[in-house]
Amino acid sequence: MNEASTGVVDIFKWIHLISLEIIGQAGIGHSFGILEGNVPDYLAASRDFLALIIEMWYFHPFITFFSRIGPASFRRAIVEWIPHRPVQKMKSASDTMYKMAAKIMKHKREAMDNGTLDSEVAAGKDIMTALLRQNLVVAPHDQMTDEEVLAQVNGLAFAGHDTISSVLSQVINVLAEHWEVQTKLRDEIHTAHRSHGKNLDYDQLNSLSYLDAVCRESLRLHAPVFTIRVAAKDWVLPLHYPVKTKDGEFTLPTIRVSKGTTLHIALRAANKDKGMKFAQLEMEIVLSRLVSSFAFDPSGDVIKWNAAGVAKPHVQRPDGKLSGTPMMPIRVIVLEETE
């Protein structure tokens, strides 16, 4: 491996920006211009939204009740009146995301009417355009309202880019600590590039079995959003697929869980998350590009993951305190082009 240059880079910052740009182009057919140096207000709004939902857990039991009180304008007035910082931050974040998505939806409708979708970002193949097109062909009672379309798209954007940036950062951190895995993965990607070129299509990406294994195992071990539970009493969990013990001598059809055991459930949404396949594909695209062109090495900083809604990396300072904002310094080595 030939090294051209090296330096320490805050990988989380750039992964976070790239994730928003990808979800913007694929989800709403819009480029935020992040790779050109723009930092949109939508980034901070979507980043803060989930964290605020977690922070205001004490409001959750009352949301359904309050959502049925009066018209939307009345509920809006109540929210503006509440002198509570998290509530006002949530309102501001929601307004930013809504206005941006509404502006883009208006532009999409105009492009559909003018027949200029082919010249738009994603050429009309984004999720928002697909929803708007579907609304034109279904029966009126089956059509989604504009509010529903915007809610679907904003939900995908704010939940999608935050979680993907978390797990991608985890993968790069693990690869930096395990060079043998990183090297094997790079060899597989370079072999595919020699056969198909660097712009791998969907089927070619799916054929990279080691890349797929790295992504799946990372999602299993380092879920960006996880659930922790403590057993309230002794229990026996039946296994749909019995497992063998490490020595291979016994097969376990059940797992005994003693009272007080802490359970880390990392696969809660794995089989029902509508964005799961999208997330896997995005991970594979980004990793195939990065690992083929760069090598990653630990920077020497101590990285701690803070699970505030979505797990995010922070640098632990010598005094034991964590950095105020998420960051993950990694030593990046620029590799020479391979044939």
Give 105's Cβ-side CA count (13 Å radius): 22
pLDDT at residue 26, as a whole number: 87
Give Cα separations from 200 to 189, 203, 220 (angstroms): 10, 8, 25
Degrees to nearest 5, angle at CA 276 with 273 and 282:
150
Go through the chain and tell me how many residues it has.
339
First to last CA, the chain: 13
Per domain, the residue ranges of the chain are 3-224+268-335, 227-265
Flag whether pLDDT at 165 surpasses 50: yes
Burial class (CB in 10 A: 0-12, 13-18, 19+), 274: exposed
pTM: 0.78
Locus of tokens 């999720």: 127
The per-residue pLDDT for 158 is: 73
Residue 23: name the closest of 49, 51, 48, 42 by CA: 42
- The mean pLDDT of the chain is 87
Helix (H) or strand (E) holding 229: strand 227-230
Model pLDDT for residues 273-325, shown as the tens digit of each residue: 666 778 888 899 999 999 999 999 999 999 999 877 788 999 999 999 999 88
- How many CB atoms lie under 10 A from the CB of residue 122? 18
**What's the gap between Cα 14 and its chain centre?**
13
Q: What pLDDT, on a 0 to 100 scale, did the predictor assign at position 333?
A: 95
Q: Which residue has the higher pLDDT, 140 or 156?
A: 140
Give the Cα separation of 255 and 261 in Å (integer): 12
CA distance 44 to 40: 8
Percentage of residues of the chain with pLDDT beyond 70: 94
DSSP line for 238-265: EEEEEEE-TTSS-EEEEEEE-TT-EEEE
Read off the pLDDT band of 63 (50, 70, 90): confident
Query: Are the CB atoms for 245 and 253 separated by under 8 Å?
Result: no
We find that the CATH architecture of domain 3-224+268-335 is Orthogonal Bundle (1.10)
- Predicted confidence band of residue 171 (pLDDT cuts 50, 70, 90): very high
- pLDDT > 90: percent of the chain: 36
- Residue 234, pLDDT above cutoff 90: yes
What integer is the mean pLDDT of 233-241?
89
Q: What is the pLDDT of residue 1?
A: 43
Tell me what pLDDT residue 267 has: 56
**Which helix (H) or strand (E) covers residue 4, if one does?**
strand 3-10
Mean pLDDT of 208-235: 86
d(CA 107, CA 195): 40
Is 90 exceeded by the pLDDT of residue 174? yes
Q: Which of 303, 224, 302 is CA-nearest to residue 51?
A: 224
Tokens 């090598």 belong to residue: 295
Whether 137 shows a pLDDT value over 80: the answer reads: yes
User: 266: pLDDT confidence band, cut at 50, 70 and 90?
Assistant: low
Q: Which residue has the higher pLDDT, 154 or 327?
A: 327
In which band, very low, low, confident or very high, does the pLDDT at 36 lie, cut at 50, 70 and 90? confident
Q: Say if residue 116's pLDDT is above 80.
A: yes
Q: Which residues pair with 256 in a beta bridge?
A: 236
Q: How does DSSP classify residue 322?
A: B
- Given this model, what pLDDT does residue 37 score? 80
- 265 forms bridges with which residues in the sheet? 227
pLDDT band for position 2 (cuts 50, 70, 90)? very low
